[in-house]
Structure formats: structure tokens, C-alpha cells
Amino acid sequence: MPSTLRPHHDGSPLHVSNPDPRLGDTVEVRMRVPQGFDPVARVLVRSNPDHEPLWVEASRDGVADGWEWWSAEIEVANPRHGYRWHLVMADGSTWALSQAGLTRLEPLDAFDFALVAGNPPPGWLADAVMYQIFPDRFARSAAADGRAVPDWAIPAAWDAPLDPLPPGRSHQLYGGDLDGIVDRLDHIEGLGVSLVYHTPIFPAESNHRYDASSFARVDPLLGGDEAYLRLIAAVHARGMRIMGDLTANHSGSAHEWFQAAYGHPGAPESAFYYFRDEAQLEYESWLGVPSLPKFDWSSEELRRRFIEGEDSVVARWLAEPYRADGWRIDVANMTGRLGAIDLNAEVRGILRRTMVETNPDTLLLAESTNDAATDLQGDAWHGAMTYPAFTRAAWAWLSEPRELAHVTPLGEQVTDAWYFGIPTGMPRYTAGEFAAQLDRFTGQIPWRVRLGCMQPLDTHDTARFATHAAPGVIPVAVGLSMTLPGLPVVFAGDEFGLTGVDGEMSRTPLPWDRIDEPDVAARIDLYRELIGLRRAHPALQAGGFRWLHIDDAAVVFVRESADEQVLVLAARGDVDAELVAPAVVGADRAQALFGDATLAVSADGSVVVSAAGPAFAAWRLPGVVAPSSTAAASGALPQAGGIADAEAAAAH
């Protein structure tokens, strides 16, 4: 990465006056150019209302701390209103700045910065840190011992090893329940997390419960509806939030709706699923798995029962007396999609509308295991559980794949390192490639939506990151998840140092009896400190983001606001990076927040950060100073793209 600083804009409050506009609102946007960059003669903002380019002249606001600021006003015309900056230099050359970076070429519209009108996320999302719980493996209450075990289940003692082979793989039942979570809320609260997310709690015929047999009640094995009421009340009493997990793509084959339709042509529920024969014995399912029949969202009755209106499943658990705080939608990327059929936008729109009507202060997240940019434009999803941007990139940089003998679900003995189901194996990235992948997969997502995208190191569907982490990198990985833009996630058990070779084998019962062991206590303290760092500094929650240094071994970036900046160093190897002035302002007043690294300021204002890797470090700096905006006072008028004023007038 060249050491020369570049012009900068992002969606943070430093650069956008209103992150949650309505259609028709005027929003002020600002860009800054570092002194020492080529002289700028003129700046324009090109937006794209109704897919027709519209140009607005920007005003020069002045210079502060080595940065020249420009501002312009945009009228928000579309739900996703894209815009980019064009710089005309003193020598007549031009640059364009979009989320894809600075270029002399015309950027693609997909990479434009974007203002999102409507569907703002709940205010509590900004400082949220999520804790993910897989209920069967988290904790058992005293009541668990007295519950009858269903026929499908294979009972397991809490310290029994996981069975890698079917049927044990999905039928081992350890007996964790909702009152067990209540019993351990001191631990969760003590970590500093603010949002509890649990995987499905509806009755099913598996330990993961993604094959629901009903959405109308909580599984009695977990304590039933009353236990869920107790859990929600206990979470809310501690000032935290709680959100559930819903399978909008499919039900279980034991679901009451499917049982009413299977083999019963003419049943009202027949339209809920994709049956392939007149007898209704053959049907579409998730990836061909017979126990997971796929919903047909063209059914108005399915919509009414499941996602639309106050009597729907979606509304039931968000309304009184439960008042859960949101939904994570399982395989949201596949929901409503089958071949030439694509009802995804309709389904998510109805789902979110019902949530707003029931309780607008709720969060809606989508699971999408790959590139989700086309769905994540702010119309319904506030963010996503998506892996390529952060999770896979962090694994590729910070892992050291080991040959660990393990058994696949097919009974094969292998030693390959599991990597998100990708058969080509785990790549090996430099720090630069980590940063490039992060930029690539966030470059088409509006800033507001990016802040809602989950940043897990692992989940119940992946191997545990610690299984293949390189020596000394756990603080680096956890630190990155807490300081990069997005929603940090801790999968329960990571703070205990648990490992697991794949998604099923990572669902280990939590070893509560080991909580005071020195190694476990130290790991818990690490998580507590880094979560505390995130929640104590608003700049890490909604502040802007700039890369300052990238090489093969390390990245340095800053999160910034008018009140504070947080400078972050993450390194797998040794690092000795010089940050040219005015990359960082106020480093002479830096306050060390975390880590063992050195920050020094030279006489010319440049900053040197150095550390022996692996290392993660953070410093607090004074906030960014900007001159007053002149955009509103300038009265700059928009110009029709590519049409002279006279021609435009003549055309009308």
C-alpha cells in the first residue's frame, strides 16, 4: 500500500449529517483531502436518483489539521441512494472516490456510497456485543433431570464426548435448557456483552432444532413457554437484549403444517410447500435433506400464519408477554428462492413490516454464508451473519492449519483442516490480503448496514477458531472483531478456549467446572477486557474507519469521531510502521488502551508504531477537528448528468 494518503469519505457522522434519512430529506455529505495530495480545483458529488446521474457541486470548507474538507448536499430520492465523489485536479486530471477506493477509472454503481432511507436499526445496536448460545450445550438447570427424553434423542452426560457420526451427530441430547441460561447470566453479563442470541428453541427432532415441528410453542425439553418468559425477563432486567432464530426457508418434516399436507392433496397447508407429485409425497427440501421441507412463499395463507400481521409467528414472540428483541433468519439467502422463483425481497419486506408494527425497536439479521451484497441494501435486513468479509479472511491470515485426525459425517478418517465447507482447503493470507478481502466484501454494502453485519470468529456452524489459530494470535483475532466496523460476536465457549474441528463438533457443552482454572480464567479475562474496550469507546461503535498502514505482517487503522479516535494495531509478525503526517492527528496525546506496543511521534508529525508480533494494541487520541460546513450556505444547484442546461430546457 503506497504511503501517500488518499482522500477519504465514509458513512460515519463525521462525513454524513443524517445516517437514517427519509425519502425527500436533504443530507449533507463531507469529504476530506490530505494536504500533500495533488491540488484540487473542484469537487462534485455524482448521485444516481432513479438510475439517472445527477451532479452537485461541492463547497470547499477549509483546512483543519492537515486535511482540506469539502461538503455538498444530497436530496435522498430512492430507498438506496448511491453517490460518489469526483475530484478535478488543478492540472485538469480527475479522480473518483467510492467504496471501492480512489481510482482514475469510472467506478461501478454497485460500489457507490449509499444513504439508506427508512428501516433504521434500533438505537441499541450501536454499542451491542452479541453472545451466541446453542441451548442444548450451554447449561443445565436442576429441572432438566426430571424431563422425559423423546424417542429420537440419545441422552448424553454433560462431559461425554460428541459423536461425529449420524444419528448421534444431531440426536445426542445433553439437556441444556433455558433456565440453565438464566442460572449463568452472571457470567454473560460479566463478560460485558449486551445482546444474547440463541439458536432455535421450538420443538424439533434434533439437538439443533432447525427442523421445527411447531413455531407456536417453546420446546418442553427447554422448559417450555414459561421458561422462555423467565429468560427474557431476566435478560431485560440486566439491561441486555435477546433475539431468537427462525427458519423461514423450511420447517421440519415433523412440523404440524407439513404433516397436514404430506400425502393429503387438497389440505390448506398443501400450498405451504413445493410438492412435486399429485400424491404430495415428493417435495423440495433444503439441499435435498428430507427432514427439512422447503416453504413456498407464494402461499398467502403461509404468509398470514408465519410472517404477516399480529397473529403471525413473527409477531407472537416479539409482542407481549414475551417481547424478544429481534430475529436472526436462518439461510435467509435461500428463503423464497427456488430456480426461477425469487420472492426473497417480498418475504423479507413483509417480515420486517410485521416486526415494526409489533415492536419497531427490534433487530433483523439474515444468515447468508457467502456474498450477500445484493440482499444487504437496507430494505429489510439490518445486517447479516455472513462469513467471507471478516471471518474467512481472519482465518486465512491468522490460522496455522494443523493435521488433526477426525471423522467426517460419512465416517471417513481425515486430517484436513475444515474451512467453511470449501473443498479447496484453507488459504494462507498476508495481512494485506486480509484487508483486501474485507474491503472487497464490504464495498457494495451501505455503511449503515455494514455496522449491523455480524463479525464472529466462529459460530455453531463452523469449527472453532482456536482449533487452528497460530500461536499468540487469539488477542489479535478477538481484538479485530471488537474494533472493526460491524457487530462483534462471541460464540459461547470461545471464552473458555474450546476447540472443535467442524460445525457439529464445535457444539461442545460448556465446561463450567473449569471456569476457575488459570488458563480458562485468563481467556475469560481477555474477552472481558476486549469487550469492555469496544463498549467503552463510541468511536469503535459508529466511528469512521481508515486504513493507515498495511503490509504482509500487520495492519494499522483508525476509528474516528469528533469526540475521539481509536488507533488500532493488529499484527501476526513484527511490525515497525511509519504513519506519515497528517494520517493521525493528536498522537502526542495518545492514551494506551490495550496491548504491548510502542507509539512514538517524530518532530515532523509522523507517527511510528512498533511491536513484536503477534500483537494487538489500541490507543485513544483526541477527536477529529473539521472546519464548519459551507454546503448549505453555498446554494450549489444540482446539474442533470450529461445534459447541458439549455438542452435540458429545450427538451421540456
Active site members: 330, 367
Phi-psi region for residue 126, left (φ > 0), alpha (ψ -120 to 50) or beta?
A: alpha
CA dihedral 577, 583, 587, 593 (to 10 degrees): -70
**Three-state DSSP class for 603?**
coil
Determine the angle formed by the axes of helices 474-483 and 518-536, rounding to 10 degrees. 20
Sorted by sequence, the CB contacts under 8 Å of residue 625 that are 6+ apart come out as: 64, 65, 562, 585
| HEC-encoded secondary structure of 98-153 | ECCEEECCCCCHHHCEEEECCCCCCHHHCCCCEEEECHHHHCCCHHHHHCCCCCCC
- If you compute the radius of gyration of the chain from its CA atoms, what whole number of angstroms results? 26
According to DSSP, the residues that pair with 264 across neighbouring strands are none
Sorted by sequence, the CB contacts under 8 Å of residue 225 that are 6+ apart come out as: 217, 218
- Select from 118, 618, 12, 639 the least CA-distant residue to 349: 118
Contact in structure between 409 and 165 (CB atoms under 8 Å): yes
Contact in structure between 199 and 534 (CB atoms under 8 Å): no
For residue 541, the one-letter residue type is: Q
Q: How far apart are CA 604 and CA 176, in angstroms?
A: 60
According to DSSP, the residues that pair with 8 across neighbouring strands are 32
Q: How far apart are CA 519 and CA 338, in angstroms?
A: 48
Q: How far apart are CA 565 and CA 590, in angstroms?
A: 9
- Select from 335, 328, 327 the least CA-distant residue to 359: 327
Contact in structure between 355 and 371 (CB atoms under 8 Å): no
- Count other C-beta atoms under 10 Å from residue 347's C-beta: 25
**Three-state DSSP class for 525?**
helix
Q: How far apart are CA 565 and CA 412, in angstroms?
A: 51
Contact in structure between 531 and 489 (CB atoms under 8 Å): no
Contact in structure between 477 and 526 (CB atoms under 8 Å): no
Sorted by sequence, the CB contacts under 8 Å of residue 294 that are 6+ apart come out as: 249, 250, 273, 274, 283, 284, 285, 286, 338
Q: How far apart are CA 375 and CA 377, in angstroms?
A: 6
